[in-house]
Amino acid sequence: MADTSERPAAKPEELLTLEDLTTRVGMSVRNVRFYTTKGLVPPPIRRGRSGYYTPDHVSRLELVRELQTHGFTLSAIEKYLAAVPEDATPEQIALHRTMLAPWQAEATVEMTTAELVARAGRDLDADALRLLQALRIIRPAEGRRGAWSVTPTQLAVGVGLLELGFPTEAAVAAAEIYSRHGRQVAEELNDLFLTQVWPAYKEAGASAETIREVVERIKPLSIASLVAAYEQAMDETRREQIRARAERGRPDPGKQAPAP
């Protein structure tokens, strides 16, 4: 990574002390120094004996933190950052964070198991929790043991299925189908954005902030489009199955009807 002396000079009001930086990005002094030593962020700007940090340091450390929340190992983070141009602006780096941010159809709420049981209004044993996880209604909360990230509007639906004895294995199998095909859709849409959408905006001279706004606005639209496509496909599949059953139920025209 290039030294900060090769970058545009930061404005005096943008300079941060190490204490300011750690407060801003929510990291310890030890971690900041470690990432600097590993070359994940540039060294501080020296002013006499003091070291100062810029918005560039902030954006890169925030990207490191975002990658960590997604389960990236240190080696994977190093490889990811190696592909980020050394002269990338804080706004451009923030765009990478936008692309990493979760694509969620509904907001979730963190709950302890006790809070989840209270909201569900019934006991939830291991099988019940497994079913709710398979249905994507709950998932283990990141960085908080014994807590769950819950979609409140869907919890009542899940509890209703529990009371109706919905088979857990069927929910698990369905989750695997969603995961497999969801990954394929995500990879293809991501490739479409990188090869057609992003280049078109860059060629038009759009700012990094504009591209970030495009990404944020297209998220709910993409989710709605996937839901609509799924609903249409399910309707068509059901009609085809009904038509096939009807065809099988018709008498063979090659056979004569029995005499009255």
The alpha carbons of the chain give a radius of gyration, in whole angstroms, of 26
Are 171 and 131 spatial neighbours (Cβ–Cβ below 8 Å)? yes
Residue tagged 């159809």 (tokens): 105
Q: What is the DSSP string of 114-173?
A: HHHHHHHTS---HHHHHHHHHTTSEEEPTT-TTEEEE-HHHHHHHHHHHHTT--HHHHHH
Residue 114, CB half-sphere, CA atoms under 13 Å: how many?
0
- 23-32, 114-123, 139-148: segment of lowest average pLDDT: 139-148
pLDDT at 253 over 50: yes
Confidence of residue 164 (pLDDT cuts 50, 70, 90): very high
Q: What percent of the chain has pLDDT over 70?
A: 88
SS3 content of the chain, % helix, strand, coil (to 5): 65, 5, 30
Q: What is the pLDDT of residues 60-83, one digit of tens each?
A: 999 998 888 777 888 888 888 888
Task: For the chain, give the mean pLDDT.
Answer: 83
Q: What's residue 3's pLDDT?
A: 43
Q: What's residue 20's pLDDT?
A: 92
Q: What is the pLDDT of residues 91-123, one digit of tens each?
A: 788 877 777 766 655 667 899 999 999 999 999
Q: What is the pLDDT of residues 217-243, one digit of tens each?
A: 787 778 778 888 888 988 889 888 888
Sign of CA dihedral 185, 188, 191, 197: negative
Global pTM? Answer: 0.53
Q: What is the DSSP string of 134-150?
A: HTTSEEEPTT-TTEEEE
Confidence of residue 162 (pLDDT cuts 50, 70, 90): very high
Q: What's residue 250's pLDDT?
A: 65
Q: What's residue 113's pLDDT?
A: 92
Q: What's residue 85's pLDDT?
A: 83
Confidence of residue 252 (pLDDT cuts 50, 70, 90): low
Q: Encoding tokens for residue 131?
A: 């079913």
